[in-house]
Chain A
Amino acid sequence: MTRYSQLAGEGRDASDLPVWRSAHTLDLAYVGYGLLIVALVLVSYVLGVFHWLPHDPEQIRFDLLNAPPGSAGHLLGTDFLGRDILSRLIVAIQAYFLPGLVAIVISLVAGTTLGALAGHRGGEVEVLVTYFNNLVDSFPRLVLILLVIAAFKADIYYIMIIVGVTGVPVVASLVAGKIAFLRQKHFIEAAHVLGLPSHVIVLKHILWYHCGPLLVIRATIGMGEAILIETSLSYLGFGVQEPMPSWGNMVQAGANYFFQGKFWPSTAPALAILLTILGFHLLGDGLNSILEDRGGK
């Protein structure tokens, strides 16, 4: 049974309700969870940078190997060398946080520029940008990164540049699509007629008002992707090297013990990856849903 009820007062002012009243509860839950994750990541990043950690992440304790969570003040237990897992998880965030931001900035800035150019100028510019997009999309990202690693070195920032560049097509087509859609609406023509210079129209009206939320959503999803790439690469052995922790290399290192029945050293970082990426994805998804609902009504 779906229930529809009209709030008290006929003839009430038909102004729209604030966002949190009209959105689906589930979308709000998604956004809430996502924001929580973002907050945790930020906090952990700061903690990691200043080394405000419960334990020394590199301290080996042979007497406490593979301790379960909760033993002797180790909230999340210890790994196969007796090192505190929680501290290592926190420190490992530095492996992807700043590089991830680099990737996001690159894809958003370059993507928006290309998309705006293509959408606004159309014609040959559009063809060129489309070609560029299809070209970039032809590469499997991980394989391309391996090429760069082979040619240059396994530097996370080089890698994130690649991640950023491969993220450009999505952003560019989003922006260009939005512009193509908005062009049909007459306010762009009106703005032209009023004498507003082109770049003002594009920057202010289109990008800020309309694409802003879309780009924020893209940024959240982009961060999720960056985390995935970084952890995958360090799992493969190309990222941060031991004893420096990264969620990826923690999973890899704990893998042997996995088959001996000691799941936790591998599972703890895997859960961290899961919950964090989930948080970013749900945040993006929830925001997207809410945005669509508002736009529709």
Chain B
Amino acid sequence: MTAPLLEIENLRTYFYSRSKQAFIRAVDGVTLSIARGETLGVVGESGSGKSVTALSITGLVSAGPGVISGAIVFRADGVEHNLLQDLEQYVRLKERDGRIVEASKDEPGWRKAVERLMAPVRGKEIAMIFQSPKSALNPFARVGDQITEAIRLHTRAKGPGEAKERALHWLERVKIDSPRLRFENHPYGLSGGMCQRAVIAMALASEPSLLIADEPTTGLDATIQSEIVGLLAELKTEFGIATLLISHDIRAISRLADNVAVMYGGTVVEHGPAPDVLASRFAPKHPYTTALLASIPSVQNVRDKGYLTVVEGEVPDAVDLPRGCRFYARCNRVTDDVRDKCAQHEPELQEVMPGHHVRCWLYTE
């Protein structure tokens, strides 16, 4: 088996609240990997740490302390990039009871190091698209110019004419209407859906190995959402580009993802092939996943129960994380024999079926 394209190991990204004088443990030990051509979907509620994970990969986390531990290996173009190389040199951690209580970080130094590490990768090998496409484009520049900028930076087409040709080509690929007109337009003249198409064109025009899509459909109208998902599905079959798709829209995930990772409270609580994780019945599942799936407004759910189930409780305060399993307080599948363990100790990710891992005491000894 070839080495994965992207490997994230035990990533920790913390923020700090000065008014509470405490850490916000946005990403607290995440391990993921994406193979060449694979689409990995990451689901979870707001606050689970999905977006921060994506930003950590490309070094776009600006608030302090930011990324404090972990390893990210990215293999592209025959080169192996360690995106968090020498992080330990810039960070000093102090732990107590297995929890990090103090972090010292040389932020300017690390920022410089990150820029150096990411320079050959950002935009060229890893491309990112975000939610709110209208604000993602520079309002002062023409749409076409923003695409050609990416092309001239990262591909061999350096001349303006050649770059424009390719940009128009990509605008057609993303099925935008009147590509030549849209090329000349400024972003304010485009609708949300069209902007997102342009952003996707911009991202793919540099022919990256990995596309990170952070909530690409959130904020768009419902019909446009499914159009964009359809576009992504088409592009996936056409180009086979590896994708990290972050979304809380389970239907988009089910349509696009090969594998799915479920995040909760800053960690991955379930990880496996999409049909296993998202299929409603057979595979063993994390209680959070089952609750999440049951709460999707769908004909089946409503027919079965007559009402929508809700996941009780709230997302844990990333400041005030509980002692044991992060989901314990909201779990509705706790049984008496695991209750003590759930309350005291956090479970590890266990392989319950080939390729399918769950972090739950119900499935671990």
Interface residues of A, Cβ cutoff 8 Å to B: 1-7, 10-12, 14, 16-17, 21-22, 293-294, 297
B19 touches A297 (CB 8 A): yes
Name the 9 nearest CB pairs between A and B, nearest first: A297-B19, A5-B102, A3-B104, A4-B16, A6-B101, A22-B19, A16-B19, A1-B104, A6-B22
* B20 close to A (CB within 8 Å): yes
Q: How far is the CA of A155 from the CA of B322 in the complex (A)?
A: 69
Cβ-defined contact, B106 with A14, below 8 A? no
Given contacts A4-B14, A22-B19, A297-B20, 15 further A-B contacts (CB under 8 A): A1-B92, A1-B106, A2-B105, A3-B103, A3-B104, A4-B103, A4-B105, A5-B101, A5-B103, A6-B23, A6-B102, A7-B22, A11-B320, A11-B322, A14-B317
Beta-carbon nearest neighbor of A296 in chain B? B19
Q: Count the A-B residue pairs with Cβ separation under 8 angstroms: how many? A: 64
**A7: nearest chain-B partner, CB-CB:** B21
Distance in angstroms between the alpha carbons of A10 and B318 in the assembled complex: 11
Q: Do the beta carbons of A4 and B23 come within 8 Å of each other? A: yes
Q: Is the CB of B21 within 8 A of A2?
A: no
- The minimal Cβ–Cβ distance linking B110 to chain A, given in whole angstroms, is 10
Residue B298 lies at the interface, judged by CB distance under 8 Å to chain A: no
Who on chain B is nearest to A8 by CB? B101
* Neighbouring A residues of B317 by C-beta, 8 Å: 14
B residues sitting closer than 8 Å to A (CB atoms) are: 14, 16-23, 64-65, 92, 94, 99-107, 317, 319-323
CA distance A22 to B20 in the complex (A): 8
Query: What residues of chain B lie closer than 8 Å to A21, measured between beta carbons?
Result: 21
Are B105 and A6 within 8 A (Cβ)? no
Closest residue of B by beta carbon distance from A5: B102
Cα A7 to Cα B64 with chains together (Å):
17
A2 in contact with B65 (CB, 8 Å): yes
Judge whether A1 and B23 touch: CB under 8 Å.
Answer: no
A294 touches B103 (CB 8 A): no
Q: Identify B20's interface contact among A1, A2, A3, A14, CB under 8 A.
A: A14
Find out whether the CB atom of B21 lies under 8 angstroms from the CB atom of A10: no
A4 adjacent to B102 (CB under 8 Å): yes
Chain A residue at minimum C-beta to C-beta distance from B91: A1
Contacts A/B (CB < 8 Å), 12 sampled:
A1-B106, A3-B103, A4-B14, A4-B16, A4-B103, A6-B21, A7-B21, A17-B21, A22-B18, A22-B19, A297-B18, A297-B19
Q: CA–CA, A294 to B19, complex, Å?
A: 7
- CB-defined contacts of B103 to chain A, threshold 8 Å: 3-5
Given contacts A2-B104, A11-B320, are A16 and B23 in contact (CB under 8 A)? no
Take A1-B106, A10-B320, A11-B322 as given contacts and tell me if A17 and B101 are in contact as well, using a CB distance cutoff of 8 Å: no
Nearest chain A residue, comparing its CB with the CB of B322: A11
Residues of chain B within 8 A of A10, CB atoms compared = 99, 320-321, 323
Contacts of B92 in A (CB 8 A): 1
A residues within 8 A CB of B107?
Answer: 2
Output the least CB separation between A188 and chain B (Å): 26
Inter-subunit contact B102/A293 (CB<8 Å):
no
Q: State whether A297 touches B101 (Cβ < 8 A).
A: no
**Cα–Cα distance between A297 and B19 once the two chains are bound (Å):** 6
- Say whether A4 contacts B106, CB under 8 Å: no
The answer to whether B102 touches A3 (Cβ under 8 A) is yes
CB distance from B139 to the nearest CB of A (A): 21
B102 touches A14 (CB 8 A): no
State A16–B319 Cα separation when bound (angstroms). 13
A1-B101 contact given A14-B20, A22-B21, CB 8 Å threshold: no
CA distance A17 to B22 in the complex (A): 11
Q: Distance (Å) between the CB of B319 and the closest chain A CB?
A: 6
Nearest residue (CB) in A for B22 is A6
CB distance from B103 to the nearest CB of A (A): 5
CB <8 Å contact, B64 and A17: no
Taking a contact as CB atoms closer than 8 A, the residue among B18, B65, B104 that contacts A293 in the complex is B18
CB distance from A30 to the nearest CB of B (A): 17
Q: How far is the CA of A185 from the CA of B107 in the complex (A)?
A: 36
Q: Are B21 and A14 in contact (CB under 8 A)?
A: no
Q: From residue A1, how far is it (CB to closest CB) to chain B in Å?
A: 5
Complex: A192 Cα to B200 Cα, angstroms: 45
Instruction: Contact check, A14 vs B104: say whether CB atoms are below 8 A apart.
Output: no
B18, B101, B319: which contacts A14 (Cβ < 8 A)?
B319
A297 contacts B102, CB within 8 Å?
no
A2, B102: Cβ atoms closer than 8 Å: no
A161 to B164 alpha-carbon distance, docked (Å): 62
A17 is contacted by which of B14, B19, B100, B320 (Cβ under 8 Å)? B19
Q: Using A4-B64, A11-B322 as known contacts, say yes or no to A16 and B20 having CB atoms under 8 A apart.
A: yes
Chain B residue, CB-CB nearest to A21: B21
User: Can you name the residue of chain A whose Cβ is closest to the Cβ of B103?
Assistant: A4
> Which residue of B is nearest A19, CB measured?
B19
CB distance from B316 to the nearest CB of A (A): 11
Q: Which residues of A contact B323 (CB under 8 A)?
A: 10
> Considering the chains assembled together, what is the distance between the CA atoms of A293 and B65 in angstroms?
17
Give, as a whole number of angstroms, the nearest-CB distance from B331 to chain A: 18
